[in-house]
Amino acid sequence: MRKFLLLILSLLLLLGIPLELSSQSHSYQAIVLDKSTNESLPYVNVRVYQGDSTFYFSATDVQGRFIIKRGFPIGTQISVSCMGYSTKNFPLVFSEALDTIFLEPDPMYLNEVTVMPIDPQEAEYFETGTYRKSEDIYICRRPGNRSAVLLEPDEDVKQGILWRFGLLISESSKGEHPFRIFFCEVSDASDQRPGKIIAGSEIKALSQDQGGWLYFDLDSLRIPFSSKGLYAVIEWLPEQTPELESFSNLGRRRLEPINHFCLAEHHCKFEDYLGWYQRPGDFEGWRRLKERKDFLVANPIVYANVLVIE
């Protein structure tokens, strides 16, 4: 009798376990919406993590959707973030159903725009000049990676409004390139890294092969421009959600998502080196990172037009 019960139990286990496993989903898909307007949000950063470890990093497509098709350890979390919105974190639970994620606008970003009452026709237009860096500006093709360009005014500019911004894409990078750009203060840190965001909204642009120039008309944003200067932060936008390789397979923490690149000096044996490298300043790691082939190279010519307030 005991052997018979064990046989029945074994048969139930053999039949039941495959059925249970087949009913479980091994993917998670969602659409990200603006909670105030119900509009979909494209190019939102999506990160799968546990503690300090990042397992997956991607972005929503042009319809605001993303899908995760791989397994992760128990207790894995999802972080959904976008500039101008509050970040949402929640446990990763696989399901066949399409989930809806609502992001709430963050008043801290929306209230950052400074409106300065001035008639552009009555003000003097002043071009800050052309800035030539000793190194090319590298715009990473990975979603969520950003490059920061420091715009410094001439000495006689005390207060103004950033009117226009341009970036020349090199001849080797022809084609359509979607970008997102915003502006940050220069922080008080010793390396003058980008600080608080001062532009209240994102600017999206599609660069086509017309001389390679990216143009941004900024007059409607009324971005204040002082003698301290500011950072233009440029982010590459994927045209669709990429299936990125796991960061654990790419190497250790040096290839985790980069927030921005800083302009800083590196004192080596033979000369002072001025260039862009990864915060907090891993010079050798940044040089190795530049050698990867997933960077869009921009010519080191940046200009900005400033509307000077007398």
pLDDT along the chain (310 residues), means of 10: 58 47 64 91 82 76 82 85 84 88 73 34 34 39 57 60 58 49 73 66 48 56 71 60 31 26 32 33 40 36 39
What pairs with residue 98 in β-bridges? 29
Position 195 scores a pLDDT of 72
86: helix, strand or coil: coil
**Burial (CB count <10 Å: 0-12, 13-18, 19+), residue 157:** middle
Domains and CATH numbers, the chain: 25-106 (2.60.40.10), 120-308 (2.60.120)
Residue 298 bridge partners (DSSP):
137, 169
What is the structure's pLDDT at 203?
A: 53
Peptide bond between residue 280 and the one before it cis (omega within 30 degrees of 0): yes
Bridge partners, 34 (sequence order): 103
Asked if residues 151 and 302 have their Cβ atoms less than 8 Å apart, the reply is yes
pLDDT at position 260 is 31
Supply the pLDDT for residue 128. Answer: 33
Residue 130: both structure tokens together: 């052309």
DSSP for residue 40: B
- What pTM does this model have? 0.39
Can you spell out the DSSP letters for 25-75? ---EEEEEEETTT--B-TT-EEEEEETTEEEEEEE--TTSEEEE-S---TT
pLDDT attached to residue 81: 84
> Taking a C-beta distance cutoff of 8 angstroms, is the pair 81, 45 a contact?
yes
| Residue 60: predicted pLDDT | 82
Query: What does the pLDDT read at residue 185?
Result: 79
* pLDDT value of residue 12: 52
β-bridge mates for residue 59, sequence order: 45
Nearest to 191 by CA among 305, 256, 76, 276: 276
Amino acid identity for residue 114 in this structure: T
Residue 48, class by beta-carbon neighbours within 10 Å (0-12 exposed, 13-18 middle, 19+ buried)? Answer: buried
